[in-house]
Amino acid sequence: MKDVKNLPKAATQQFVEIEDIWEDIVMLKDYSCFNIIEVGAINYWFLSQEEQESVIYSFAEFLNSLSFPVQISILSRKMDISSYLEFVDNKIKEQKSQKLKDLLVSYQNFIKDIVKQNTVLEKRFFVVIPFSPLELGVKAIKGKLNKNFVFQRAKVSLSPKRDHILRLLSKIGLKGSVLPKQEIVELFHNIYNPSKTGIKLAPVDSYTEVILSAD
């Protein structure tokens, strides 16, 4: 296979701002970098009024305690539940009890009706922590930057901010996890290839050809 460095850039790649990914840090073409923290969701509407108010106040406290900029992003996609319906269908076939089989069929029909009447969305929540090359001072202004140097400095700057965000999220009952390189690549692969959402890629370091394509 051809080495990816020697391949001409495809039209889609020209519109992708990502320059490189190192460990858990994404670098853009202007050498700005960022970490991505994925935050677990809570079912707000299942909480009591007091609990809802507590969540709101805790989130406000979280925002007010930040001393550096962050970006909060929500990725919303129509959920494909065909694999789940297939799973339920297999369970129906496995059942020996007619009563349990009837209950599963009723549940399966219930899910199908919900999907027909409503759009079922999958939502993912992210906190993005940025690093600007301007933080490097004169070298950044003169445009004389080395990629490895920027990555190292970005790591020094982003690590304490990342850990601080994780602690704050934990205090308000939310679980946060820093996306590693593999999950970052899969995230952006699915964003730029919406018809292939949910695809798990092989270990990204094993690729020697371009894995980004246009739908």
Cα-based torsion angle of the residue sequence 79, 84, 89, 95 in order, rounded to the nearest 10 degrees: -150
For residue 159, which amino acid is it? S
Q: Evaluate whether 42 touches 173 at the Cβ level (below 8 Å).
A: yes
Which of 192, 205, 185 lies closest to 4 in space, CA to CA? 205
Report the greatest alpha carbon distance in the chain: 75
Q: Which of 3-17, 21-35, 50-64, 152-166 has the lowest mean pLDDT?
A: 3-17
Q: Quote the pLDDT of residue 143.
A: 61
Can you tell me the distance from the alpha carbon of 67 to that of 72, in angstroms, rounded to the nearest whole number?
A: 15
Instruction: Report d(CA 161, CA 150) in Å as an integer.
Output: 17
Question: For the whole prediction, is pTM greater than 0.75?
Answer: no
3-state secondary structure of 30: coil
Task: Read off the pLDDT of each residue in 144-161 and give the average, rounded to a whole number.
Answer: 90
* 33 close to 26: Cβ distance less than 8 angstroms: yes
Return the top range by mean pLDDT from 81-85, 125-129, 188-192: 125-129
Contact 55, 44 (CB under 8 A): yes
Domain map of the chain by residue range? 4-79+122-206, 89-119
Token pair 């190192």: residue: 22
Whether 200 contacts 186, CB under 8 Å: yes
Quick check: 90 pLDDT over 80?
yes
Q: pLDDT grade, residue 214 (50/70/90)?
A: very low
> Quick one: average pLDDT of 2-7?
49
Band (pLDDT 50/70/90 cuts) for residue 13 is low
